[in-house]
Structure 1
C-alpha cells in the first residue's frame, strides 16, 4: 500500500481490540479456515503445493456445511484451506520423493501426498489475546488480497499458450500493477470513510471508487474512452469486492446482474452513477455499493501503517504529553480534535492538565496560533479547578489574552484589563489560527470585521505587532475584509509589516 498518495490521513475511530477480534472470528472465510485447521489430522493428505487432495474436498465441504454437488464448493474449501495454511493455523509437510531421483514414482503413476496437522497458532484462536487473533486475521487478509489481484480462471485459460504456459502479454496482467490498483482503491475507500463530510458510515458507489482510480484530477468532463475505463474498473472491483467480503473487510452490494445483461458493452451511465441525487439512490445502488466494516477500517489502517503512511486513530494520544497532543490535533478537524482532547483529559487532574496544555501552547513558530486555538478548545470544559493554572499565565505575552477570555467567560472577578499590545497580538493570533484551520472561509470576513470594529486606528497600530504572522494576517484582511476602505488600509499595513521584518 503506497505511502505517497495520502501521507497524512484524518484520524479514525476504531472499535476496541476485543470487539474487532470477535468480528474477525465471525468473518465467514476466517471461521472456515479455523474449522478446517481443527479438522486436519493424520488422515489429511496434501499435494505438492500444500493443497488438499481432490478426494478430500467433499468431506471438507460437508464439514463447512457446503453442498459438495455445488460447483463452487471446492473453490470455497480450497480458499479456506489456503488461508489456514498461510496463517499458520495448519502446518503442512509437502510430499517428497524420498531421495528417488530416477523418477520411478512418476513412471508408476503413483501420486504422492504430504501431511497436515493443526498449527501452533491455532491455539491463539481460543487462548490468545485479542491482538493475537487480529494478527492472524491480518495474515488471512494478505492472502485474500493476493488472491483478489489474480485474474479469474476463464481469463487464465484463455491466456495459455501452445505449451500450456500463461502468456502474460496476452493476459495483460501485471501482478505488481494489479496489487497496487487494489491497494489504491482501498486507500481511497478508507479516506472517503474517515474524512469528515465524506462517506462516513454510508456506502460508497462503485463508480465513485472506479473513477477515483481512473479519471485524472484535472479532467473536466470525462471522455468516452475514460468512461469506458471507469466501466472496466468497476467490473474488476465488483469481482474483487465479492472476494473480500467473506473475510469481513467490506459490506458489498454487487453490480446488478440485470444491469450487466442490459448493458451493450460498457455499463451505460457508470460515469455519472456516483453523482445522482437522493431520488436516484436506488438507481445508483444498482451499480454496486461498498463500505469498509469496522474490522476493515482496522485492517486497511494496519496495512497503511506498515507502508509508512501516517494514519492516526482517535485515542492513541491519551498517554502522550500535551505538546504531542496539540501538535497532532492541530491537523485534525474541530470535531476530531475535540474527541481526541476529551480522551486525553479523561483521568487527568484538571490543574495539572491545564498547566501542561498552557505550557505546550507557547511558541512563535508557524504552528503556534493553531496550538493555542486547540489549547483554548481543550480548556473550554475545564471547571474552577483549572483557574489557578490559567491565572498563572495572565502576564504571559502569548497566553495572557487566552487566559483573560477563559476567565471572562466564567464570570471570574479581579481579571486585569489587557493592554493594547496584548489585544492586537491576540487579534493577529486568532485570525492566523482560523486561517490555518479552515482557510479563507465565508465566516472569516465577519470575524475580521468584528475584531477591527471596536478599535479606532486599528491598522495603524496592528502592523507594529511583534507576531510572526502579522503581515500574513494583514494580507488576508486586505483580500477578505468586507469594508473596502478597511481592506485598503489592511493592504497598506501589510506592506509596512513586511518592510519592517528582516528578510
Structure 2
C-alpha cells in the first residue's frame, strides 16, 4: 500500500560556511587563484584564452611545480579553471600583422577573484560550482593520442573520427556520480562511504536481473573501470571525491585495462572512490539542476507543518527526527503550543499517506515537550487524533486522561498498522505489533472489520499474512473479506 516514494534519501549537508572552506581548499581552485593573482599586463594568452606555451614554465614555477615533469600541464589546467570561473578575464587577441594566426591576447583580474576572500559562502560555492562544471566537461572530453590525425586538409576537426558523443559521455558520468551519491546515503552502503571502483562500474553495466555476468559483460565492466579511473583522476583536484587510482601493475599490455577482481583478491588495488562532503553538495546541485528530487535535511525547517509531515513520510528515522528537531527549533520554546496544534491539524486526512503523517506527528510531538499539552488535549475528542493524543498524555503521566471509546481503540490499531505497512519497516517488529494488538483485544477480528478507516481491509489482509497463529490468520482473512464487502456497500 506504499505511495510513490522519492528516488533518493535525504542528505545531511555540511553548513555553507564549512562547504565554502572546503571549496577554497580544493587543490585545483587553490592553483587557479594563485595564477589569477600572479597574472599581469605581460601575461599572454592564445585565441582560446589558454596561456601561451612560453608562459607555462613561469606559471608552473609560481605554483611550485617547476621541477615536476607535469608542472606545465598542471599550470595549464589551473589556468583554464581560472578563466572558466571568472578569476581572470581574457581580452580578445588582436589580429597579428603577419596574418599567421598566432595573435595573442592579454588578461585582467576577474571580479570573482575578490569574492574568494571577501565574498559570502554562497559566492564561493557559486564559483566552485562553475569550476565543477568545467572539470566535469574536461573529465568527459575525448582522449586521443595524436590530435594531428584528426585535422582534415581544410583544417577542420573530424569529430566523427573521435567516436565520441558528448551528451552520452556526460550522461554516463552523471549516472556514475548519482549511483555513488545513492550508495553514500544508503543505509546498506559502505560505512565510510568508500566504494570499490569495480562495484561502481558494474552498477552502470550489469543488468539488475543478471545473476552471473557473462564474459562480454565483464569486459564491459573492465572498460568502464578504466574509463572511470581516468575521469576520477580529473575530478579529484576540484575536491569532489577522494580517489585511490587503479594499481598500474594490474593493467594488461594489450588494452591497458584491469580485469575485475576475483573474490579473493584485494579489491582496493582496483580503485576506491568516496564522495567528499563538498562532493555530496556538488552532485546534489547538479541533480537538482537536472530536475531530480534530491532532498536535504533542513529543507523543511521553514515550511509549514503540512509540508513537514508530507516531506518526511519516507525519511529514515534518524533523518526524520533531525528534520523535526530543526523545524521545532525554528519556532522556539514560546511557539511550541502553536507548533503542536499545527502538526495535529496537518496530521488529519483519509488519503493514503495520512497514517504515516500521523505516525510522524506522534514522533514530532514526542520532541515537542510539555508545552504542547494544551494543543494535544484539544483534540482528545477528534476521531482521528484522539487516540494518539491519549498515548502522548499517558506516556507523560498526565492526569485526567479520559478512557478512549472502543471504536477509537480499534481505529487507532488499524491506523498504526497501516502506517507501519506503508513505512516498510522491520518485518519481525511488524509481526510483533500485529500479534500484540490482536492478542490484547479479545475478539479483535470480530470487531476490526467494522472500523471506518480507508485501510481497514488492507490492514486485515496483511495481519492474515503476518500472524503466526493459523487460527488468528484465518480470522483476519475472514474479517478482511467482510471489510471489503462493507466498503462496496
TM-score under structure 1 normalisation?
Answer: 0.91
**Could you say if the C-alpha distance between residues 366 and 7 of structure 1 is closer, same or farther in structure 2, counting changes exceeding 3 Å?**
closer
Distance in structure 1 (CA, Å) of the matches to 2:48 and 2:207: 42
Distance in structure 2 (CA, Å) of the matches to 1:242 and 1:266: 16
Secondary structure of 1:286's partner? Answer: helix
- 1:184-203 equivalent positions in 2, closer than 5 A: 184-199=175-190, 201-203=192-194
Equivalent position of 1:29 in the other structure: 28
Alignment match of 1:405 (pick from 384, 388, 391): 391
Alignment match of 1:238 (pick from 214, 229, 254): 229
Q: CA deviation at 1:96?
A: 3.2
Equivalent position of 1:469 in the other structure: 455
Q: Which runs of 5+ in 2 are unaligned?
A: none
Equivalent position of 1:490 in the other structure: 476
Equivalent position of 2:282 in the other structure: 299
Distance in structure 2 (CA, Å) of the matches to 1:267 and 1:111: 42
Could you tell which deviates more after superposition, 257-266 or 221-230?
A: 257-266
Q: Provide, for residues 33-71 of structure 1, a one-character-per-residue CA deviation record: whole Å limited to 9, x for no partner.
A: 11111122210111111111111111111111112x544
Q: 8 Å contact 2:414–2:453 — kept in the other structure?
A: yes
Alignment match of 2:250 (pick from 259, 268, 290): 259
Q: CA deviation at 1:502?
A: 3.8
Alignment match of 1:179 (pick from 152, 163, 170): 170
Distance in structure 1 (CA, Å) of the matches to 2:411 and 2:146: 68
Q: 8 Å contact 1:357–1:375 — kept in the other structure?
A: yes
Q: CA deviation at 1:164?
A: 7.0
Asked if 1:72 is matched to 2:70, the reply is yes
- Say how many residue pairs are matched: 482
**Could you say if the C-alpha distance between residues 401 and 158 of structure 1 is closer, same or farther in structure 2, counting changes exceeding 3 Å?**
farther
Distance in structure 1 (CA, Å) of the matches to 2:10 and 2:368: 24
Q: CA deviation at 1:260?
A: 2.1
Distance in structure 2 (CA, Å) of the matches to 1:241 and 1:217: 24
Secondary structure of 1:381's partner? Answer: helix
Q: CA deviation at 1:77?
A: 1.2
Q: Which runs of 5+ in 1 are unaligned?
A: 1-5, 99-103
Distance in structure 2 (CA, Å) of the matches to 1:156 and 1:498: 72
Could you tell which deviates more after superposition, 384-393 or 179-188?
A: 384-393
Distance in structure 2 (CA, Å) of the matches to 1:243 and 1:208: 20
Asked if 1:375 is matched to 2:361, the reply is yes
Alignment match of 1:390 (pick from 361, 376, 388): 376
Asked if 1:56 is matched to 2:47, the reply is no
Q: CA deviation at 1:314?
A: 0.9
Equivalent position of 2:400 in the other structure: 414
Could you tell which deviates more after superposition, 199-208 or 312-321?
A: 199-208
Q: 8 Å contact 1:7–1:309 — kept in the other structure?
A: no
Asked if 1:227 is matched to 2:227, the reply is no
Distance in structure 2 (CA, Å) of the matches to 1:117 and 1:454: 79
Equivalent position of 1:130 in the other structure: 121
TM-score under structure 2 normalisation?
Answer: 0.93
Alignment match of 2:319 (pick from 323, 326, 336): 336
Equivalent position of 1:327 in the other structure: 310
Q: CA deviation at 1:160?
A: 6.2
Q: Provide, for residues 308-335 of structure 1, a one-character-per-residue CA deviation record: whole Å limited to 9, x for no partner.
A: 1111111121111111111011120111
Secondary structure of 1:91's partner? Answer: strand
Distance in structure 2 (CA, Å) of the matches to 1:477 and 1:446: 11
- 1:79-98 equivalent positions in 2, closer than 5 A: 79-97=77-95
Equivalent position of 1:3 in the other structure: none
Distance in structure 1 (CA, Å) of the matches to 2:146 and 2:451: 70
- 1:116-155 equivalent positions in 2, closer than 5 A: 116-154=107-145
Secondary structure of 1:216's partner? Answer: coil
Q: 8 Å contact 1:168–1:174 — kept in the other structure?
A: no
Q: CA deviation at 1:136?
A: 0.3
**Could you say if the C-alpha distance between residues 439 and 117 of structure 1 is closer, same or farther in structure 2, counting changes exceeding 3 Å?**
same
Equivalent position of 1:101 in the other structure: none
Distance in structure 2 (CA, Å) of the matches to 1:174 and 1:461: 65
Q: 8 Å contact 1:459–1:493 — kept in the other structure?
A: yes
Could you tell which deviates more after superposition, 461-470 or 199-208?
A: 199-208
**Could you say if the C-alpha distance between residues 262 and 58 of structure 1 is closer, same or farther in structure 2, counting changes exceeding 3 Å?**
closer
Distance in structure 2 (CA, Å) of the matches to 1:226 and 1:164: 39
Q: CA deviation at 1:152?
A: 2.6
Asked if 1:313 is matched to 2:296, the reply is yes
Q: 8 Å contact 1:404–1:415 — kept in the other structure?
A: yes
Distance in structure 2 (CA, Å) of the matches to 1:110 and 1:150: 25
Distance in structure 2 (CA, Å) of the matches to 1:73 and 1:445: 64
Q: CA deviation at 1:356?
A: 1.5
Q: 8 Å contact 2:19–2:277 — kept in the other structure?
A: yes
Q: 8 Å contact 1:192–1:200 — kept in the other structure?
A: no
Q: CA deviation at 1:167?
A: 4.7
